[in-house]
């Protein structure tokens, strides 16, 4: 599995300019401090049909969900492991030339389109929504945010309600046991499961480099 976020960003730029849709890059890739495990933050000004075409134009999503706090952000994880936080904009004060913007959208007056996000979610049940936390926990831990990674993992443990906890010092064993318990009770999509297992395999080696 190859996390090629730069390839995804290149796709986003070309799509924005070719289809005349405004898209803003944000987060660590905008500010120049991403890690190999960073997700890509973008904000898009699109209607439903264009948004569906845009999401599927890069590749096959293996997981699509949305945030509830704040509302208006779609979580997309692709087959190649690229993860995207996709903020859907309903209206914005657009300035400057072009359609792909290397600037923080927060500098402009904008309103999120929170109602559209639920339409793209593959499933809406609590186990599916909770499952996204495995990927979130792993990329945080692998990016060096070990405390946050363990904390997110323990949100999953709390959902299972068996009293287990994942610690920073024994994270790999803890997250491995947790995903096994979870997958046994709430079977994960095969490809999403595989992405998480590959990330788990990188836990010990990433800090030895």
pLDDT at 15: 97
Which overall architecture, per CATH, does domain 5-120 show? Answer: 2-Layer Sandwich (3.30)
Task: Give the number of C-alpha atoms closer than 13 A to the C-alpha of residue 193, restricted to the C-beta side.
Answer: 13
Write out residues in the chain with pLDDT < 50, as ranges. Answer: 1, 208-209
Task: Give one DSSP letter per residue of 6-21, joined into a string.
Answer: HHHHHHHHHHHHHHT-
How many Å apart are CA 169 and CA 160, to the nearest integer? 21
pLDDT at 118: 82
Task: Give the number of C-alpha atoms closer than 13 A to the C-alpha of residue 15, restricted to the C-beta side.
Answer: 23
pLDDT at 205: 53
pTM reported for the whole predicted model: 0.90
Residue range(s) in the chain whose domain bears CATH number 3.30.460.10: 5-120
131 neighbors 186 (Cβ within 8 angstroms): yes
How many Å apart are CA 187 and CA 123, to the nearest integer? 13
């Amino acid at each position: 599995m190859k996390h090629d976020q730069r390839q995804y960003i290149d796709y986003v730029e070309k799509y924005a300019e070719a289809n005349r849709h405004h898209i803003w890059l944000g987060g660590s890739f905008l500010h120049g401090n991403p890690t190999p495990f960073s997700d890509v933050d973008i904000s898009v000004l699109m209607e439903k049909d264009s948004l569906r075409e845009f999401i599927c134009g890069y590749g096959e999503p293996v997981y699509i969900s949305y945030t509830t706090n704040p509302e208006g952000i779609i979580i997309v994880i692709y087959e190649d492991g690229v993860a995207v936080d996709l903020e859907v904009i309903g209206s914005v004060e657009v300035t400057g030339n072009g359609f792909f913007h290397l600037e923080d959208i927060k500098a402009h007056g904008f309103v999120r389109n929170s109602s559209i996000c639920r339409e793209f979610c593959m499933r809406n049940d609590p186990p599916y929504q909770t499952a996204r936390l495995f990927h979130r926990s792993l990329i945080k831990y692998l990016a060096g945010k070990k405390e946050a990674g363990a904390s997110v993992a323990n949100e999953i443990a709390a959902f299972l309600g068996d009293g287990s906890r994942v610690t920073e010092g024994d994270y790999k064993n803890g997250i491995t046991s947790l995903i096994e318990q979870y997958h046994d009770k709430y079977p994960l999509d095969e490809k999403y499961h595989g992405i998480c297992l590959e990330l788990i395999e990188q836990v010990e080696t990433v800090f030895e480099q």
